[in-house]
Amino acid sequence: MAWQKVRIEIPNGFSPELREEIGEAMIVMIKDRSALGTGVKPSGKYFKTYNFPEYSEKYAERKGSKRVDLVYDDVMLNDIRVLSHKADSILIGFENGSKENAKAEGNQLGSYGRSPDSKKARRFLGITKEELDAILAAYPEGES
- Three-state DSSP class for residue 63: helix
Instruction: Supply the mean pLDDT for the chain.
Output: 88
- For residue 144, name the pLDDT band (cuts at 50, 70, 90): very low
Give the per-residue pLDDT at 33.
93
Domain definitions of the chain by residue range: 5-136
Q: Find the range with the poorest average confidence among 4-8, 10-14, 64-68, 83-87.
A: 64-68
Residues 37-87 pLDDT 10s: 899 998 888 899 999 887 777 776 776 666 666 665 567 899 999 999 999
* Residues 89-107 as b or e (16 or more Cβ within 10 Å = b): ebebbbeeeeebbbbbbbb
Query: Quick one: DSSP state of residue 61?
Result: H
Confidence of residue 105 (pLDDT cuts 50, 70, 90): very high
User: Partners of 38 in the beta sheet?
Assistant: 51
pLDDT of residue 68: 64
Q: Are 135 and 29 in contact (CB under 8 A)?
A: yes
30 phi, psi to nearest 5 deg: -65, -45
* Cα end-to-end distance, the chain, whole Å: 38
pLDDT at 67: 63
Cβ within 8 Å of residue 32, ≥6 positions away = none
Please report the pLDDT score of residue 57 as a whole number. Answer: 79
Measured between alpha carbons, how far is 113 from 107 in angstroms, rounded to an integer?
A: 10
Q: Which of 24-28, 96-100, 108-112 has the lowest mean pLDDT?
A: 108-112
The string over 54-78, giving b where at least 16 C-beta atoms fall within 10 Å of a residue's C-beta and e elsewhere, is ebeeeeeeeeeeeebebbeeeebbe
Residues 83 and 39: their CA atoms lie apart, in Å, by: 21
Q: Report the pLDDT value the prediction gives residue 69, as an integer from 0 to 100.
A: 60
Mean pLDDT of 79-105: 96
